[in-house]
Structure 1
Amino acid sequence: MGHENGSKSIKSTTIKQVFRTMDYGTITENVSSAKAWLEDLAAIGAYKRDIVLSYGKSLLVHSKGLDIPIQVISPLPEDVDEIVAANKSDWTGKQRSVLLYKLSIELENNSSLICQLEVLIRGILSKHAMSSLHLLIDHLRFYSGYAATNEKKIEGVSLSVVSDDVFLSAFGNILGPALAAGGDVILQTEPRISVLATLFKQLAEKVGFPKNAIRLLPGDVNLTNLLQNDSIGFINCFGKVLGKTFPNLESLVKAPVIAVTKTKGPMIVFNNADLESASDAVINAAWGSATVLPWSLSIVMVQEDVYEVFVSKLNDHLSKVRIGPAYEKLADVSSVHESQLFNIQKVVEEAKVVGLQVLQSTSQSSQFQTTVILGGDVLKNVSLEQSDVAVVTVIAFRHINEALSLSNNFKSKMGVSVWTENIGLANELAQKLQFSNVWINSFAKFSASHSTYLDKNSGVGYIGGVDGACEYYKNGSDPEKLTFDISAARSFYLHDIDGFYGNLVGRSVSSAVVSSKKGYDLWKKGNISDRFRMLANLSFALESRKELISKNTGVPCFILDYWVSTTYKLYAQFADVGQVEHKGSHVIRTCREPVGIIVIDESNSLSTLFDCVIGSLLLGNAVIVLNLHEKLIDFYAEIYQLLATAKFPSGVFNVILNCQNDTFDSLLSFDDLNTFITFTRRPNMKIGNIKRICDGRMSSSLLSYVTKTKNVWSSIGHSVL
């Protein structure tokens, strides 16, 4: 770093650079607590009748740095069925709140033991494990408060399929909302993560959790049978599960699903950024926590005019990074899993073949080297996914739009890191980047009270915050007061027509999806006030024709009045749903964006149907309604005429007439559709093509169903006034 003073150039060095170059020798982590705990643990198995099953298939997990073999005993199929079918825990909301908070304290008291186990079992540095553990504890405390305010309970048992490469704080997302909602949790864990799952179960029972509240199914379990078990009311998958860890699994699942897949994200560096801090952030963002985080960094896009300077600074950081085993206390990065070493070498060789420059750390303490490819992405050439390789690619871009386009085409939507000192540019990017989290001058910031929407290849559903809890409440009930006698639609056929409003549209499945995509692209561009104005105009038109519409359709006037009043009620409810919070050295701004196209299954209760349709439209989505009842066909014909009067864009509101049972299932196959609101169905989905299934009877969760959150984290520094 230099400073011009007349003709003299004064060189200075940051304190951070001084500490980076200092050599303290080797300091080893104290792992005595973990060693003692492991030695006392005879085996890890499925707990039944207060004993550990002593039979079944055994898997051996050797802890890193110790010679203690840990036996993981997989349960037999009949024992799996018995454990799943065990009686549910019966506890009040107050009891759940108190016990969740007590568990958070117990985890805090045992933080040293937990971090030591992460060092030994999964090779994760203690400092990285501690950071993730703090977030886990925050989630339990957040949901302890939520449990006290809600006495509703989820149906069935919550099944969590957890892979060895899961991030530690995921247990906060697994245990917190499910236990707060009154559900028991089954942890189906791969061998290494079974160690931590066992400890968490022990600590939960120590503070008073019922025996069946957390149930463990470790090791090798038949997932096909487990996912289809009728006692499973909810499923969440964390890690490389969907088509990854179980590539041959074509199981159908009946229960709603949350999934967090192991993907990676991008970083954008502009020419007005603090390049020193940005290049320094790459190290931890790309290789921290042994790369198990689903938001680890895989590509850095740098503005062209500072590309060479940034690469030089990054190379300097790489040359000084300290790589070592996880039990080396001063290591910056721990080695990745052995299976990734071959993949890294494969990528390096391919990069050299196509003429790309490769930067690697010079550390000799490990076979693993932090690796950066300059100028291009070669993963497709070697048929590898970004999540399978601990390599960072650095490329140049010229203009803002180019950076936006490259980023928004990224498969993972968990988060993007943006580095700029220009506040106007930061605000513009925050609005246009299509990610659940936008980190300004920072990376991988999360909060238990802020929801993260899982989109595209990042997964399905919500984790964290109130939205994360809403995912678990799927047992609403239809209100009686606004129902009327409707019979099933007769069998008939309507040819597809172009869909201009004013005509009743009997679209096929495919044409309805195409029309909805076009309508959504126009509809989402306006703000909520613009959309409310159009919906209010629709209400005026409905009010003026109410008596005639009721006579023609058989829909009572008081139900038509509900459409009108709901338009105003939901606008008042949703007009201001943003949130701003000061948290440590960051300000978090949370906004709501439309999900896209919402498929809504018709309900016997028109009030709940109207809530879902109007709420979805008001918040910027297009809708496809699946018509099941003959008596409502004339009503939809009237609505189409009113839409034309109100000048709605074509394709925003769609109805597929006379739907059969297979219509819903056929829509599940469309990639453009990922949110379905249903009232009675439990659709069968393949594990590799999971959609978000929402219970339309839960009107309190409507905002969560039809919007996705975007959290913008802005760093405000650490200075103290």
Structure 2
Amino acid sequence: MAGTTTKTVHDIFQSMEYGPAATSSTATARAWLDSHSCSLGLFIAGQFVRPLDRQTRSVVDSKGALVCSTVCALQADILQCASSAVKGFEAWSGLSCYQRSKVLLRLASTLGQHGQSVAELCDLCGASCSSSSLVRLLQYYSGSAQLRDALVANWTPLGVVLVVVSDDCTFHSLMLKVLPALAMGNSVMVVPGQSTAPPALLLAQLFMAAGLPAGALNVLTGGDMSLAADVAQNSSIAYVTYSGNKQDAVKLCKATAGMGVPVSVSPNIGATCPIIIFESADINSAVDDVLETAFKKKKEAHWVLCVQESVLDSVMARLRLRMAGLKCVSLPDDGVRVLVETAVQDAQNKGATLVQSCAVPSSTQYPPTVLCGAAPSSPCVVMPSPGPLLPLVTFRSNTEAVTLGNHSPHGQAACIWTEDLTLALETYKSLSVGSVWVNSHPLSDPCLPVSGHKDSGTCTDGGQEGLYQFLRPSSSSVLPRASPVALDYAKFGTDPPPVIIPDQTAGTLKSYTHFVAGKACKSESGASVVVRPQGGGDVLGYCPDGGQKDVRNAVEAAIKVQPGWMKKSPPARAQHILSLAKGLEGKRQVLAATICGQTGLPMEEAHMEVELSIARLSDWAAYCDKVHGGTLPVPQAGTGLSIPEALGVVGVVLPDEHLLLSTVTLLGAALASGNAVVMVPSPEYPLPALAIIQVLLSSDLPAGLVNIITGRRDQLTKALANHSVIKAIWYWGNSEGCQYLQHTCTSPLKTLRLFCQTDKDGNHRGRDWTRPSVLEEFWRNAVQWKSVWIPTA
């Protein structure tokens, strides 16, 4: 036919141009919105609720056109929703695992009929999510619901779970929180972002049609993150989990500090992630997937392209050829365009060259741009601006590639391109990220656990590992909620040390020491605190009053030795822990006498605690090489792996009960999983923990792996919270300390396990340290997960 251009297969493979994009329609989604007059209400107790006299919020599409409006919930709506969620939890958790699984499977079937509506609505609102990915989520978590009692025996649902996402979060990330919470038997209250609100309301409606009990899933829409904090204040909420950007995560953590509710965050929007291309890579495939990842998908992460110098010219040539067919990307507004142009200009001033798909138009669109030769310290690499920009940095050696990959403060994900399997395995082990894709673009599947390493999260989503955040051990009790106290965060932990007046007996009393870097040492301040037996009485001795400098010295010692300890084989770590248990066995009489003298326990009970402590360390030694990750049943052709890794340096503020048993339980959990530890003994009863120093001095543990700092709890808690290297803090103390940690440990994010030892009436809250289930509980607190995807076809 005249005027047509016929291309051969050879021509197409030479240019590798993209075919025409499929036309999209939003007719089905528009019809659903029209049925609600484009004005969506709240979803409470299984039905839409449209309260009067409420402010509304507009939802717009990518071109700024109005899609619909949503209601901004008030306190009365929160109370109604919370009451509904409590009733929904009673009905939903009362069903059998098989019955809950059937509901999720029915929803998957319902999506087969109405999946087009959901997909179109997601596209229309800018929260792109395919119906096939939702069906896969439902299929996976229906199986988890069916096997809950078999897979996670002796664990029980939390109750009412609050799921919060930011305005820029994807609908898939929202459902990755909602579905496992439901599968485990919890009821869920959702506070969606602006883009995810309409599809969340539609899916809630479909859930009701599938047979979900009324109140098991509720949706509250609002204006900003303050709504989530207001909902979290309700005493019915047992757990809060968040996905989205880091800024809103910090706001939520600070706003909920002191409420007595656990909060976990997955700041999966805006992280900086590396794509590493080695000289052994298939360059054509690598470049194709780079463009797909960096420019064609919804940009949740900022990608940095790291290319080995020996193949830089080949990569650049292929980039120029493949980028010629890419269209400009629409920017949200003129302000974003200014940020993009400033970043490009700054990169050029520092020596970068541009590779663009076309000339820069004058509108709010911008062409896909590669900033070749950007310096690793350049702002466009360290803190990338929004827009279609891809910084490209080069490296020479494999070690330098890993250094560049770990350059970012985020630890979300990485892509590795190489045909050398040994190199791929060595590289993924060395990268401090939660997800690694080898010779592939980012793959999302619910069976892959996703843990945020470094500053990219405090929980695990996906896989069997992600189910535990929505469960608690059956033997543990539900702690009552608390109310925030008026706390001056700047003055917390700054009280002056107690005054000690010397007397004639001071020279005969024992002076204890810290244990730092494998040595006994005094406090840097030179101050001491008095140690007395339980209930008061004669002075037993003096302990160093540790402070910020002591904690800094301990962390410096720990960070030097922890990487080597983590790389030791599990059997080698087990032998070290067994030798520590033998050391305790040799000091059993001294330890029992110390417990008896400090706490007033009968000698028989003190001996029993020592024996339990020796057995507990032996349990941890056996745990070292018994619990591992494994292969994952990914539906695509390839191999998926889940691997538990150490957190790093863990700060532990020890409880005031079961002084020796609790100490070795927490110490063993940290060491068995590859962590180093800085421990703060109970300020009231420090002697049993200090007695372990004599065992540590004669043990074969690497110097600096275990550090013990005594002193006032608040002062040392503040020092741990403000140290950037410490990844996790396990805290037993008062409500003020819990509130301070939740408010402070946000930059960088720290994984917190907080246990308030007294309730609002001053009554002591204890726990049973003798039960074997604490092994599973604290081991899961001591690891983070890495998933690896290696395709085979």
| Range class of TM-score, shorter chain | 0.7 to 0.9
Partner of 2:593: 551
Cα displacement string for residues 24-75 of structure 1 (whole angstroms, at most 9, x for unaligned residues) = 5x75223321121111123222235743223311122234579664111112
Q: Among 572, 579, 591, which residue is 1:530 paired with? A: 572
Partner of 1:273: 281
Distance 1:476 1:111, change over 3 A: same
Q: Among 264, 269, 274, which residue is 2:272 paired with? A: 264
The answer as to whether partners of 1:492 and 1:658 remain within 8 angstroms in 2 is no
Partner of 2:209: 206
Q: Measure, in 2, the Cα distance between the counterparts of 1:369 and 1:30.
A: 25
Q: Displacement, 1:385?
A: 3.5
Cα displacement string for residues 628-686 of structure 1 (whole angstroms, at most 9, x for unaligned residues) = 2645x332232111111113233322334354356445533332223233467662212
Distance 1:19 1:45, change over 3 A: farther
Q: Measure, in 2, the Cα distance between the counterparts of 1:466 and 1:123.
A: 26
1:692 matches 2:751: yes
Q: Measure, in 1, the Cα distance between the counterparts of 2:705 and 2:376.
A: 41
Is the partner of 1:670 in helix, strand or coil? coil
Is the partner of 1:426 in helix, strand or coil? helix
1:351 matches 2:404: no
The answer as to whether partners of 1:269 and 1:420 remain within 8 angstroms in 2 is yes
**Aligned partner of 1:519: which letter?**
A
Deviates more, 1:420-429 or 1:356-365: 356-365
How high is the TM-score relative to the length of structure 1? 0.84
Q: Measure, in 1, the Cα distance between the counterparts of 2:244 and 2:52.
A: 28
The answer as to whether partners of 2:67 and 2:125 remain within 8 angstroms in 1 is no
Q: Measure, in 2, the Cα distance between the counterparts of 1:692 and 1:154.
A: 21
Q: Displacement, 1:306?
A: 0.9
The answer as to whether partners of 1:499 and 1:651 remain within 8 angstroms in 2 is yes
Cα displacement string for residues 126-170 of structure 1 (whole angstroms, at most 9, x for unaligned residues) = xx6356535543553354245454575444532222123212321
**Aligned partner of 1:231: which letter?**
S
How high is the TM-score relative to the length of structure 2? 0.77
The answer as to whether partners of 2:654 and 2:663 remain within 8 angstroms in 1 is yes
Distance 1:54 1:281, change over 3 A: same
1:46 matches 2:85: no
Is the partner of 2:459 in helix, strand or coil? strand
Is the partner of 1:267 in helix, strand or coil? strand
Is the partner of 1:459 in helix, strand or coil? coil
Deviates more, 1:456-465 or 1:59-68: 59-68
Q: Measure, in 2, the Cα distance between the counterparts of 1:392 and 1:17.
A: 25
Is the partner of 1:311 in helix, strand or coil? helix
Q: Among 650, 673, 689, which residue is 1:598 paired with? A: 650
Distance 1:17 1:110, change over 3 A: farther
The answer as to whether partners of 2:41 and 2:51 remain within 8 angstroms in 1 is yes
Partner of 2:672: 618
1:282 matches 2:290: yes
Q: Measure, in 2, the Cα distance between the counterparts of 1:119 and 1:500.
A: 56
Distance 1:658 1:394, change over 3 A: closer
The answer as to whether partners of 2:61 and 2:125 remain within 8 angstroms in 1 is yes
Distance 1:477 1:581, change over 3 A: closer
The answer as to whether partners of 2:613 and 2:664 remain within 8 angstroms in 1 is yes
Is the partner of 1:623 in helix, strand or coil? strand
Q: Displacement, 1:457?
A: 2.7
**Aligned partner of 2:743: which letter?**
K
Q: Displacement, 1:180?
A: 3.0
Partner of 1:121: 125
Partner of 1:166: 169
Instruction: State how 1:487-498 maps to structure 2 within 5 Å.
Output: none
Q: Displacement, 1:567?
A: 2.8
Q: Measure, in 1, the Cα distance between the counterparts of 2:284 and 2:517.
A: 56
Distance 1:17 1:667, change over 3 A: same
Q: Displacement, 1:491?
A: 7.5
Q: Which runs of 5+ in 2 are unaligned?
A: 1-7, 478-496, 501-510, 523-543, 597-604, 756-766, 768-773
% same residue? 19
Deviates more, 1:69-78 or 1:43-52: 43-52
Distance 1:194 1:677, change over 3 A: same
Q: Measure, in 2, the Cα distance between the counterparts of 1:379 and 1:637.
A: 45
**Aligned partner of 2:273: which letter?**
G
Partner of 1:301: 306
Partner of 1:79: 77
Q: Displacement, 1:305?
A: 1.3
Is the partner of 1:460 in helix, strand or coil? coil
Q: Measure, in 2, the Cα distance between the counterparts of 1:590 and 1:48.
A: 38
Q: Measure, in 1, the Cα distance between the counterparts of 2:101 and 2:549.
A: 47
Distance 1:511 1:496, change over 3 A: farther
Q: Displacement, 1:599?
A: 2.7
Q: Displacement, 1:14?
A: 7.0
Partner of 1:671: 724
Cα RMSD for the two superposed structures: 3.5
Is the partner of 2:365 in helix, strand or coil? coil
Q: Displacement, 1:85?
A: 4.8
1:514 matches 2:553: yes
Q: Displacement, 1:188?
A: 1.5
The answer as to whether partners of 2:163 and 2:242 remain within 8 angstroms in 1 is yes
Deviates more, 1:656-665 or 1:390-399: 656-665
Distance 1:660 1:545, change over 3 A: closer
Q: Which runs of 5+ in 1 are unaligned?
A: 1-11, 324-333, 480-489
Q: Displacement, 1:83?
A: 2.5
Aligned residues: 678
Q: Displacement, 1:370?
A: 1.4
